[in-house]
Every structure is written in structure tokens, then in C-alpha cells.
Amino acid sequence: MPTTAAETFQSIMNRCFTTVVEVILGRTVREEIFQLLERNGIKPVEISVRFDDVIEVLTRVFGNSTRVFVHMTVTELYKEYSLGAAGFAFGESLKDQIALLREKVVSDLLKPRHYTSIDP
């Protein structure tokens, strides 16, 4: 069970990504994507810490459409932490947005809406 803001952020990011993939492609395809990631050495619990690798694998399969998964994941993260994402547009660096959000969450000890067990 995550206990720090950083661990919780990783858990929430994994959940957001999983939800986004399922909403866009459905549960069956989500399972296929997780199998694809595992064949490429990425376990489901590692999605957030190896997000660059996830993007690379998915880009090989989906091409530039992968940006939709990433953009929606970032948007869901901002929603989960009740932060407005008004300053970020689809064309901006999404990896930078994730890094900025992670930094803000950890430094400000922000709690996600659907998760309450963060130790200071």
C-alpha cells in the first residue's frame, strides 16, 4: 500500500492510464496492451515509473495516436489531484507536464480525490 506522496502518485498514474486505455479501447484490448507491455519487460505496476518506455512501445503499435492516451492520462491526473490543467495544451510536452505535476504533488503533499492514505 503506498504511503508517500510519490508512491501514491505512481499508483494513481497507473490507475489513470489503465482507466484511459479501457475507456478508449475496451477491457479486452486493455488486457492485450498489458500483455504487449509485459512482453516488452514492463509490468503493470511499472507503467508510471517507465512511462517513457510505455509510450515507445505503444507508439510502435499505434503511431502518433499514442499521444491521445498520454494526453488523457495527464488530464485524468490533473483531475484526480483537483488541479486545473488550463495551462497545458495538446501540443505541449506531456512528459514535462507529468514531471511538473509529480513535483507539485510531492512538494505540496497533495492528496488525490479518491485516495486518502498518504503519510506526511
* Interior angle at CA 81, CA 77 and CA 83, nearest 5: 95
- Tell me, yes or no, whether 34 lies in a domain: yes
Inside any domain, residue 35: yes
Q: Is residue 113 part of a domain?
A: no
User: What mean pLDDT do residues 98-113 have?
Assistant: 65
Task: Give the count of beta carbons closer than 10 Å to the beta carbon of residue 25.
Answer: 15
CA–CA distance, 65 with 42 (Å, rounded to integer): 20
CB neighbours of residue 101 within 10 Å: 21
Residue 39's pLDDT is 96
The string of pLDDT tens digits covering residues 40-54 is 999 999 998 898 899
Residue 73, in any domain of the structure: yes
Query: What is the percent of the chain with per-residue pLDDT over 90, rounded to a whole number?
Result: 36
Question: pLDDT tens digits, residue range 89-100?
Answer: 555 566 666 766
Reduce the DSSP state of residue 97 to 3 states and report it: helix
Instruction: Report the domain count for the chain.
Output: 1
Count of alpha carbons within 13 Å of 12, Cβ hemisphere only?
A: 30
Task: Answer whether residue 88 is part of any domain.
Answer: yes
CATH code, 43: 1.10.1200
Of residues 1 and 27, the one with the higher pLDDT is: 27
DSSP labels for 22-56? HHHH-HHHHHHHHHHHHHTT--GGGTTTTHHHHHH
Which triple of cell numbers denotes residue 49? 515509473
What range defines the domain where residue 103 resides? Answer: 5-107
CA–CA gap between residue 11 and residue 112 (Å, rounded): 11
